[in-house]
Amino acid sequence: SSSQSRQGLLVEVLGGLEALRVNGAFAFMKRKFIAESNVHTRATTRAKTNAQFNTNAIMVVQQVAQVVIIVYGFHLFVDQVITMGAIIAVVILSGRAMAPLATVAQTIGRANSAYVAFGNLKRFLTASRVATDSSAVIVSNPTEADVQLHNITTRLSDLGPPLFNGLNLSIKSKEKLAIVGMTGAGKTSLLKVILGLLTPETGSVSLCGADIRQYSRADLVRTVGTVFQDPWLFSGTLRDNVAMGQKDIGDDMVLRCLTAAGARFVTVGGEAGLDMHMEERGNNLSGGQKQAVMLARAMVFRPKVYLLDEPTSAMDRQMEDSVLDTLTTQLTDRTLVIVTHKPSLVAICDRVLVLSEGRIVGDRSVKAYFRAIQEAEKIHGKKR
């Protein structure tokens, strides 16, 4: 709706003030907001006009009906067919009979609101979700950490083309898989499909032997640790951003996870560092520090599966080396799926998956992948 579009634009502006400042785009966004406001104003005015027209039309019908009754009754009274009392009675009864018409305009408005609400509710009910009842989970403490995607077909928008069309993928337990590909190849979307954040039109996703839809939220969080490309932190303390309110997570565990994630800027301060104030979205931290906190959050439950989307893209070399050491020494018995463009992260994996426009165009060992890159570079060098 126009109201949702305008509110969404306002949220974007408030969240991207720094980007607007450095790019001098305030005038552009102002024009865009004015345009959205004009659309909203026209839609609101049109709705009010229609409602007022319906109300006036009903009032006119009521008044005309009474006038017709009185005029016709007057002629019958002159011809001595009916009495004056009969005319008065008919006028009163006609007014009561047509009284429900006065609520028709209001009923039409409510029906339109109900139709819009039904559409929103339908989209909400058909959206991807995981089970809320832990009793519905088949595997609550899995021993195997495999991931299976069978005949997955999904699209990012209802009118857009399929992003994945009949995709099949098998990831063994404790396997380390790197996913590479050009920008827009579908790497992040593939992680969202595995997590159940993108609902496939066809096919199924199996995680640790159970369908992803049969996991409760609590068990899914404890089974899969996720780091997305865009770190999202919340205002509060550093402890809150790692433990996320879980009472069974102590300070020692939080500190160990921060150390493993390379967040030495915090661990130097000990427990006092856990009370470090975090601004909205973690704006008082650098990009690499945000990623370290996100990685610590993913590790706090020691999950069986890790889905990491460019986990070290903003880190310096020292912090990245610390993360690589953690991935290669402390997570050897875990299943890792890493989306990356960095050779250093690819090198710690067992297998490389190459995506292009939602299709798997390469699936080989790490050695074979680097050998293919070297051969391609040699061919490219000879052409020069």
Look at residue 272 and tell me whether its pLDDT is greater than 60.
no
* Among 24-28, 178-182, 340-344, the least confident range: 24-28
The DSSP line for 58-97 is HHHHHHHHHHHHHHHHHHHHHTTSS-HHHHHHHHHHHHHH
Given 75, 93, 126, the domain boundary residue is 126
pLDDT band at 143 (very low <50, low <70, confident <90, very high): low
The domain total for the chain is 2
Tokens of 126: 């058909």
Residue range of the domain that includes 290:
134-383
pLDDT tens digit string along 313-349?
999 999 999 999 999 999 999 999 999 999 999 999 9
pTM attached to this predicted model: 0.73
The sign of the torsion formed by the CA atoms of 45, 47, 53, 56 equals negative
Amino acid at the residue 234: F
pLDDT tens digit string along 211-235?
988 888 788 888 999 999 888 888 8
Q: Mean pLDDT of all residues in the chain? A: 85
Does residue 109 sit in the same domain as residue 25? yes
Q: Which of 31, 110, 112, 13 is nearest to 39 (CA)?
A: 31
Does residue 173 sit in the same domain as residue 251? yes
Q: Which of 305, 252, 302 is nearest to 274 (CA)?
A: 252
Given 126, 151, 183, the domain boundary residue is 126
CATH classification of the domain holding 183 = 3.40.50.300
As a three-state string, the secondary structure of 241-279 is HHHCCCCCCCHHHHHHHHHHCCCHHHHCCHHHHHHCEEC
The DSSP line for 153-172 is EE-SSSSSPPSEEEEEEEE-
181: buried, middle or exposed (CB in 10 Å: 19+, 13-18, 0-12)? buried
Distance CA 92, CA 98 (A): 10
Does residue 70 sit in the same domain as residue 146? no
What are the helix and strand counts (H, E) for the chain? Answer: 14, 12
Does residue 35 sit in the same domain as residue 85? yes
Distance CA 195, CA 206 (A): 10
The pLDDT of residue 23 is: 66
